[in-house]
């Protein structure tokens, strides 16, 4: 029987779950549904965090969550929907302050300040800022399970690669800082002064430690699960294939594929079924066979097309049941 319940029985030590894929296919819905199940039915303390600027946990939970910090929406279920623009501004200010501290400057050169400000529009800056926020949340250790809804660009998987880029950057700065500290120590000795602890170097080492710890967690398939969310359409199949390749390049194991918006096959038995819907279902059948052939055992859960939008705790509970124990009438093969 397909369903995420079987996956979590095999992997009881999972601490982080990431839903990746393009926008509009059901990532946020899957994130909310899994979080709801684990919190309400399993009694775990869960944090659901959206890193997707196009996502709307506020819409799904029917609560104003945007920029409000951590909000409890059900027993044990906590949700964060970050204000991305504010997060990037804070992140840029943090970078500026680190440069000022590192070089003992009172103000940044104009060119450097303009360059940092111009990075607001760069996807990499958003990914870097949100990756940092994810690492901070997990490092807090306040929750039993962290569920992340990743942004669509680059399949969100690129965020994992950001850790390597940031770590390499911290390594280079740390090396330069160590050399500077040695010169400062010699100068202090010659002047008869006391050598003081290098706080900047200490901070850089803390950043690297946090990044390394988080990256090790994200690449540990016993503690972190990555699921791609797709629909039975050609473009979604191609996109998931590309995502699988990216996963392989990053040495990350994809835990499974969640197929969303499936019409039950018994609808085809209805004589009064509208012709347009019949053709739509027949087209889905072809794509579902292709999904079976290309992804095989990676198909971890099947979610139906509902007669209304999956919003509010009542509908989220319904999606959660289908996500954990997929219905047999959705399994076309």
Which tens digit of pLDDT belongs to each residue from 258-306?
999 999 988 999 999 999 999 999 999 999 999 999 999 999 999 999 9
266's tokens:
């018994």
Residue 40: strand, helix, or coil: helix
**184 Cβ neighbours under 8 A, 6+ residues apart:** 195, 198
What pLDDT score was predicted for residue 147?
96
pTM, to two decimals: 0.81
User: What is the signed CA dihedral for 82, 28, 252, 172, rounded to 10 degrees?
Assistant: -10
- Per-residue pLDDT band at 82 (split at 50, 70, 90): confident
- Phi/psi-derived region of residue 156, left when phi > 0, alpha when psi is between -120 and 50, beta in every other case: left
What pLDDT score was predicted for residue 206?
73
Backbone angles phi, psi at 314, to 5 degrees: -60, -50
């Amino acid at each position: 029987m397909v369903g995420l319940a079987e996956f979590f029985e095999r992997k009881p030590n999972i601490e982080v779950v990431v839903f990746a894929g393009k926008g509009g296919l059901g990532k946020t819905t899957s994130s909310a549904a899994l979080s709801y199940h684990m919190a309400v039915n399993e009694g775990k303390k869960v944090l659901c965090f959206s890193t997707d600027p196009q996502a709307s946990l506020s819409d799904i939970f029917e609560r104003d969550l945007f920029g409000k910090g951590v909000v409890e929406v059900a027993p044990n279920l906590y949700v964060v929907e970050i204000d991305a623009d504010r997060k990037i501004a804070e992140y840029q200010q943090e970078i500026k302050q680190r440069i000022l501290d590192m070089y003992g400057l009172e103000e940044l050169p104009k060119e450097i300040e303009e360059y940092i400000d111009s990075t607001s529009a760069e996807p990499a800056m958003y990914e870097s800022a949100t990756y940092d926020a994810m690492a901070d949340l997990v490092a807090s250790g306040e929750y039993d399970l962290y569920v992340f809804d990743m942004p669509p660009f680059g399949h969100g998987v690129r965020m994992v690669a950001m850790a390597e880029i940031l770590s390499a950057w911290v390594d280079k700065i740390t090396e330069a800082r160590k050399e500077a500290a040695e010169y400062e120590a010699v100068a202090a000795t010659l002047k008869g002064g006391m050598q003081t602890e290098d706080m900047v170097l200490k901070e850089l080492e803390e950043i690297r430690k946090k990044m390394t710890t988080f990256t090790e967690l994200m690449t540990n398939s016993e503690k972190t699960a990555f699921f791609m969310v797709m629909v039975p359409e050609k473009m979604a199949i191609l996109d998931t294939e590309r995502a699988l390749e990216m996963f392989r390049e990053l040495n990350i194991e994809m835990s499974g594929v969640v197929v969303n918006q499936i019409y039950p096959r018994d609808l085809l038995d209805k004589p009064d079924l509208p012709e347009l819907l019949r053709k739509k279902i027949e087209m889905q059948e072809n794509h579902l066979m292709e999904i079976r052939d290309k992804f095989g055992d990676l198909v971890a859960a099947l979610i139906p097309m509902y007669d209304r939008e999956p919003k509010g705790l009542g509908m989220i509970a319904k999606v959660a049941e289908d996500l954990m124990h997929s219905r047999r009438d959705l399994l076309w093969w």
